[in-house]
Amino acid sequence: MELRLEIAQSWRRAELSGLTPNGAADRLEVHDIDTSSRLLRAATPVLDEVARHLDDTRLCVVLADRDCRIVARRFGRHSVERVLDSIGAVPGCQFTEETSGTNSLATPYEVRRGVAVHGDEHYLEAFKRFTCYGHPIVHPATKRLEGVLDITGLVEDTNPLLGPFLAHAVADIERRLLDGSNQAQQRLLAAFQAAQHRSAAVLALGEDVVLANSTAVDLVDACDHSLLREVSRTRRGVRRLRLSSGAEVEVRMEAVSVNAGMLFELAPVRPSYPAHVRRRALGGVLPADIEDRLRRGALARRRVLVAGEPGTGRTAATAVLAGAEPLARLDSADVPTLGETAWCARLEQLAAGHPGLIAVRDVHLLPAVLASWLARLMDDSAAWFVLTSEPLSDLHGEHAALVARTHRRVELPPLRERRADIPALARTLLSGLRPGSSLRLTAGALELLAAQPWPGNLRELETVLDEAADRRTAGDLTARDLAPGCRVSAATPQLTGWERAEHDAITKALAAVGGNKVHAARHLGISRSTLYNRMRALRIS
């Protein structure tokens, strides 16, 4: 059978996930659903009206949320309900291409457009008796995917009018979503106005809106919004927090009705850092405490090791250490090109006469013999050296012995461990990429950046910002502008330290095998089903 292009591409994605056509369709995990969600409130009247038209037919409609998890069903006959139950299409079950193959929930969710799937076009054998049409539900204001609506029947009930009928129902749901958003914003505005009579600094964060009075604007930076949202997810009432400016505030948090947003009333407890300290903390790419350690090392002109993953700022750390002194760099990766003899001669020449700092980059790439030679050279020389390398835990043998010759060791943290710094870092990098530009990162864009795994660290962040700045040369850079370079949804939940470690291990394994989940599971030493479950729980796309 020759497949349509969009169906063939879907089959390929399912195959890469390790799914087989004869796989069971009734073993998907079932999770709790939010029966009071904004999507369900908007869709329920439409679903009820659709059900009236389907009465006494063999058709059914299925609604999935923004995670492609089934949240509602309507049937023409109760016999259809039993059929859906038999294939696992029950509320709380997540239908993605990696777990259920090509179908009219998973594939529209994947490609973000309406898709018809008929009979043998389904990837799983268990679904081939059905014909179905699915259409994504997109919020008219935010353009975010809110869910997928599907209409399904038996193959012999195929009807070309099912697509337009479903598209009309989706349009009704999208209009109700917009009306619901407007009402939520009105409730949030009313709560915000009432709070201004009792508090000096008031901030309201809705899903699609931010309200702040002038005192809150001066006190709270846009990069603090993600911190406030995170705290409000796990705790209500009053809490003390430190903002990006260094100001310590007491925050009273209150939910505004159902899904309208959160209200924050802030009272300063301790003032912000002095301006010159804040500029140094937010103006560079390195943590302020590491900059201080490097500068103290520079005063003593002691040998220093700067270790860290690629892209964590090893070159920037070398520049900070050198300060105003002359800096000479020699890269270990140049040994194959220059030859060992010429490379060693160049380093000996620098050690004998260079008046400033000598930086030997990526010493973990040196052959073992040269690592031993460099250790002896440093022992016999009074020259001022800095070595850069991969993380200390990855160094062994002669390379570990070499870095033991340094007096101070500075290990740079990966970007995933500096999430609170990401908004400020993004602004710093953007201003460096486009000096004098009017480009500005919105709060939504900063939140999206803070949610990324960043396996490439600062270098990857800089690349994403550079590409976004090429697409929009002036004005606000929004989350949509960044989306092509950001692999994790803005809806990614705030993770615990252990969950973040899981997240990073899985994304690193997937990247190493080109996204093949079967090979990633084998690399991690876990079963394929365990990998799928953890990817769903951690919202790794």
The tens digit of pLDDT for each residue in 213-242 reads: 888 888 887 767 877 887 777 666 788 887
**Integer angstrom CA distances of residue 157 from 62, 103, 121, 260:** 17, 17, 16, 42
Q: What is the pLDDT of residue 491?
A: 41
On the question of pLDDT at 279 being above 90, the answer is no
Tens digits of residue pLDDT in 384-400: 999 999 988 888 899 99
Task: Among 178-192, 317-331, 527-541, name the most confident range.
Answer: 317-331
Confidence of residue 377 (pLDDT cuts 50, 70, 90): very high
Q: Are strands 261-270 and 201-205 parallel, antiparallel or unpaired?
A: antiparallel
Q: What is the pLDDT of residue 25?
A: 61
Nearest-Å Rg of the Cα atoms of the chain is 28
520 and 513 Cβ atoms separated by less than 8 Å: yes
How far apart CA 196 and CA 190 sit, in angstroms, is: 10
25 and 90 Cβ atoms separated by less than 8 Å: no
Q: Is 372 exposed, middle or buried (0-12, 13-18, 19+ CB in 10 A)?
A: middle
Q: What is the pLDDT of residue 473?
A: 67
Give the pair of three-digit tokens for residue 501.
């470690």
Tens digits of residue pLDDT in 69-106: 999 999 888 787 888 888 888 888 888 888 889 999 99
On the question of pLDDT at 372 being above 90, the answer is yes
To the nearest whole percent, how much of the chain has pLDDT over 70? 90
The contacts found for 517-521 with CB under 8 angstroms, 24 or more apart, are 517/16, 517/17, 517/18, 517/98, 518/16, 518/17, 518/18, 521/18
**Integer angstrom CA distances of residue 402 from 44, 103, 368:** 68, 57, 10
Q: What is the pLDDT of residue 150?
A: 94
How far apart CA 173 and CA 513 sit, in angstroms, is: 40
Give the pair of three-digit tokens for residue 514.
């080109």
Q: What is the pLDDT of residue 386?
A: 92
Q: What is the pLDDT of residue 277?
A: 40
Instruction: Give the distance from CA 236 to its chain's centroid.
Output: 25
- Mean pLDDT in residue range 11-36: 78
Q: What is the pLDDT of residue 234?
A: 62
Q: What is the pLDDT of residue 139?
A: 86
Q: What is the pLDDT of residue 273?
A: 46
Q: What is the pLDDT of residue 541?
A: 62
Helix extents (H) in 301-421: 314-322, 335-338, 340-353, 368-380, 397-403
- Mean pLDDT in residue range 114-124: 91
- Mean pLDDT in residue range 496-511: 72
- Mean pLDDT in residue range 136-158: 87
Task: Among 18-32, 206-220, 264-278, 310-324, name the most confident range.
Answer: 310-324
On the question of pLDDT at 284 being above 70, the answer is no
At residue 246, what is the residue type? Answer: G
Task: Quote the DSSP letter at residue 272.
Answer: P
To the nearest whole percent, how much of the chain has pLDDT over 90? 23
Half-sphere exposure in the Cβ direction for 430 (13 Å, CA): 29
**Integer angstrom CA distances of residue 214 from 209, 221, 227, 278:** 16, 12, 20, 21
Sheet holding 60-65, edge to edge: 70-75, 60-65, 145-154, 130-138, 115-118
For the question of whether the overall pTM of this predicted structure is more than 0.85, the answer is no
How far apart CA 434 and CA 472 sit, in angstroms, is: 11
Supply angle C-alpha 360, 366, 370, rounded to 5: 90
Average pLDDT, the chain: 83
Return the C-alpha torsion angle 255, 256, 262, 266, nearest 10.
-90
Residue with tokens 């009465």: 55
- Between 369 and 503, the higher pLDDT residue: 369
Q: What is the pLDDT of residue 205?
A: 87
Confidence of residue 440 (pLDDT cuts 50, 70, 90): confident
442 and 476 Cβ atoms separated by less than 8 Å: yes
- Mean pLDDT in residue range 473-498: 62
Task: Among 156-165, 200-209, 308-317, 421-430, name the most confident range.
Answer: 308-317
How far apart CA 495 and CA 381 sit, in angstroms, is: 48
Task: Quote the DSSP letter at residue 212.
Answer: E
- Dihedral of alpha carbons 208, 214, 216, 221, sign: positive
Q: What is the pLDDT of residue 301?
A: 87
Q: What is the pLDDT of residue 270?
A: 65
Q: What is the pLDDT of residue 82?
A: 82
At residue 148, what is the residue type? Answer: V
211 and 204 Cβ atoms separated by less than 8 Å: yes
- Report the phi/psi class of residue 356: left, alpha or beta, with left for phi > 0 and alpha for psi in -120 to 50: beta
Q: What is the pLDDT of residue 492?
A: 45
How far apart CA 270 and CA 249 sit, in angstroms, is: 7
DSSP assignment of 149-211 equals EEEEEEGGG--TTHHHHHHHHHHHHHHHHHHHHHHHHHHHHHHHHHHTTT-SEEEEE-SS-EE
**Integer angstrom CA distances of residue 337 from 64, 340, 365, 375, 388:** 57, 9, 13, 22, 20
